[in-house]
Structure 1
Amino acid sequence: MKEQTAKKPAWLKQHICNDETYQNVRNLVKGLRLHTVCESANCPNIGECFGHKTATFLILGGVCTRACRYCAVPKGKPEALDPMEPKNLAEATAHLGLKHIVITSVTRDDLQYGGAEQFAACIEEVRRISPDTTIEILTPDFKGSLTAMNIVLNANPTVFNHNIETVRRLFPEIRPIGDYQQSLDVLRYAATSHPHMLIKSGIMVGLGETLQDLKETFADLRQAGVTILTIGQYLQPSPHHVPVAEYVTPEKFDGYRELAEDMGFPHVVSGPLVRSSYRAGITVSQCLAH
């Protein structure tokens, strides 16, 4: 891979607000002992999202059992599951008046079903307290376990999301414990077993992929039944993570969006600061309107 560019380009600069609304959301999340991927993964959109009273909740604790080479979430020995997490998450959803909630997690390979039961409990509790809130889940691969998948899917989230993250050629280097084909199989199973559910995936660029790599991965995702695709810039969380090979220009992101749309994706969100859950509620509203 190329050496990382020393200075981020202007289009990657994002204002981090610290106004009263931002602090109120942050305090609420902390008070309920919840984690957000916004903070754990150093998301560049934290100011915008918190400022608009939205957050992507990170369940199953804040420590991951895997060590993917792109991710800022802490790795190590995971903590015990919090039985109050589903209730607290639903309480935060109601308090913030969220119309759309994204629930993601660390990977918990130490648990029999990877924490699938906690996903289902969170979905059910949010739906009980906030029945009009649409629910998006962003899951790990559950090691391909169909039992785990069924536990989650049978709770009927509005959107099932599992990120492919990178292209087939780079997958072993970027996600050494994961498997490209297994991730595709997870998406395909969700799409075929629940055909009315919205299926979503996301990919990072700037890791050294070629246009041909992207075409192959876009085709694989579309064939797996993905209808919502997000494309965003990889940002190196620390010197210990994989370096950035390229800062992709906004114009190039527009080209990637057009390519994906031409390949049959009904909904594509593509841009330097795009993350899997960025403006997810707007995208889901558009999907449901059709």
Structure 2
Amino acid sequence: MSITAATGVPVIEPASVPVLELKGIGKQFGAIRALHGVDLTVRAGEVIGLMGDNGAGKSTLVRIIAGNFPPSQGTIRFDGREVHFHRPVDSRAVGIEVVYQDLALANNLTAAANVFLGRELKRSFGPIRLLDHRAMETRALELFQELRSETRPHDLVKDMSGGQRQAVAIARTRLSNAKLVMMDEPTAAISVRQVEQVLGLIHRLKEQGIAVMLISHRMPDIFAVCDRVVVMRRGEKRADKPIAESSPEEVTALITGAKEAA
């Protein structure tokens, strides 16, 4: 709410437009119904925890948002306008990036080379174009510093910890000025110290106003960094509520079906 200087009358300002808004999303694979009637809203700088057992529909929902395949029903709006994704490059073009569990990094390359993999910077010498390694290393260092990561541009990925690898993958999403980053099980199979590093990276994205969707089975991580938790079961959304109003026990009950909805 604001007050106009001329009249002194309170004016209620309109709510900010969500970064992502899903309405009635459904997906059929032949006779199999993978998703049904899913509504979801994500705002800038918000961290959403997406939880559910295997087969709950999480992966299908993420792949629809990422442009791997279109929904059978429903609409997707991004930054207030309806969008239709036919392939991943379409979702990336509007500002959606996905950090998959396998990270898709090249172990034999440096951190900087991985950040720019497929998006290399080049400089021209007449008709000849060469990779601009210095520019890529400089920009990669800036991104790591923004994320407050100890990762260095010259480090080889094969020598990195799990937390450093995540930093490289997240830095890559910053090249396109992503507005929404979806992270698939980023803390799976890494040490406690590395988990803290990854959760710190998520905090850095939030501080920069970037929306994050964290797909995870790790309850402590969800309750440590998320603003809201969304629970999927059998292709439907069973809960969508602020973390402060839920508990690990409630989420577990929703995931297992001991509680139908919240």
- TM-score normalised by structure 1 residue count: 0.29
More helix by share: 1
Determine which structure has greater relative contact order: mean sequence separation of CA pairs < 8 Å that are 6+ residues apart, divided by chain length: 2
Greater Cα radius of gyration, structure 1 or 2: 2
More strand by share: 2
